[in-house]
Amino acid sequence: MADVKGTAQPQGKRPGALPEVRALTVADIRRSLAEGAADFARCPAVGLIIGAVFMLIGMAITVSLLVLHEPWLIYPFAIGFPLVGPFAAVGLYEVSRRLEAGQAPALGEVLRVIWAQRRREVSWMAFVMLFVFWIWMYQIRLLIALILGRMSFATLDRFVGVVTTTSEGWIFLGIGHVVGAALALVLFSITVISIPMLLDREVDFVTAMITSVRTVLASPVVMLGWGLVVTLAVLAACVPFFLGLLVVLPVLGHATWHLYRRAVV
């Protein structure tokens, strides 16, 4: 059971021992999604707050980019911005953990657990995710300079026209998507299990990342399928001006907790 600071009791494993991981199936994904939706329905307050925060930040970024006349940044931001979602999902993991233990999650207690993570290993994972996100944004700027540097696209319409109707634009899209997919795969592999694990157990963030990668390697097709589900769901949620994040993020966050519980002994 967690204490007031959101730390878990030690799991009884000797220092340095890696947790055992299980192979997952498609049925595990379906059950985790169903349980995630059920958790959100039982305790929607935290999920709606976290979803609303991301929705408002996404709106603010989009408006800012339009005002600053750099609309070409909207697309990579829309894809890269949700990559930092797992850190915000700590509150959702805590709700699912308390519901699993038969406790009633109080909003104030869950918020205190989120705040307490700044002094725990989760904060290091936040640094890792933000660093990968920074690389993603930097490589977009680099590709813009190398491939589209001689072209002008001061408006969103002009940018869309350049990248969809010119050979340079197609090269930019191709290379950008390949590099972005590689970074997303790395980030997904090291975080999909590590963040709920760091909330649940007293382990260091390197051990958590290794366990997360081992989980992906144990069930590569299933886990990559889960990553695809998450990506498509988040992108779809961003289309109506990020409004879908109000529901999609909470359900995916709760589902990730249940997937972690199935994956790690």
* Residue 5 contacts residue 223 (beta carbons within 8 Å): no
Q: Which amino acid would we find at residue 135?
A: I
The reported pLDDT for the residue numbered 156 is 67
| Segment 177-231, tens digit of pLDDT | 898 889 889 989 999 999 999 999 989 999 999 999 999 999 999 999 999 999 8
- pLDDT over 90 at 241, yes or no: no
- pLDDT over 90 at 160, yes or no: no
- pLDDT over 80 at 151, yes or no: no
**Both tokens assigned to 18:** 């890696």
The DSSP secondary-structure symbol of 8 reads P
The structure's pTM equals: 0.80
Mean pLDDT of 54-72: 76
- Between 249 and 151, the more confident residue is 249
Closest C-alpha to 261, from 200, 219, 214: 200
Mean pLDDT of 15-44: 91
Q: How many helices (H) and strands (E) does the chain have?
A: 13, 0
**47-56, 80-89, 93-102, 125-134: least confidently modelled range:** 80-89
Domain boundaries, the chain: 26-263
Mean pLDDT for the chain overall: 84
**Both tokens assigned to 23:** 């192979």
- pLDDT over 70 at 3, yes or no: no
